[in-house]
Amino acid sequence: MQTSGESSRSQNYSSNVLRTLESIWLKVRTPHFMLFFSTAFLISFIILIQLEASATLLINMFFFSQIMVIFFAYVVVRHGVFDGKEFTKDDEFGYEDFDHKNNVYTRSSSSVINQLRDSE
């Protein structure tokens, strides 16, 4: 039979585990993490092919990569940030970060990174 002290410790432990899992999920669903994870996965897959790893492992990694790409697209669409202007009916499609008259880019990569960091 559990005492009240043991019961409260197990509840604290389970709430700590839930908080940890929630913080991991919040990090996993960011486009930055998915970009890093998918790049690392691709590099490890290529290295394992070159090292002639087990066919079973490579096939499993290949099928997992399909699920990963779908999840990556979901994360980017669901949690990505768009700060550009919305086009109206009469607007033509174009890239607003490039000034065609002066032939220069108007946004730096650091401003995009700062914007993504602020959105989290």
**pLDDT score of 11 more than 80:** no
For residue range 39-75, list pLDDT tens digits in order. 999 999 999 999 999 999 999 999 999 998 898 888 8
Distance CA 86, CA 104 (A): 22
Q: Which two tokens stand for residue 103?
A: 């032939």
Distance CA 117, CA 109 (A): 12
The total number of structural domains in the chain stands at 1
Q: How many residues belong to the chain?
A: 120
What pTM value is reported for the model? Answer: 0.52
Domain range enclosing 74: 4-119
Distance CA 83, CA 88 (A): 15
Distance CA 42, CA 34 (A): 12
The CA R_g of the chain, rounded to the nearest whole Å, is 22
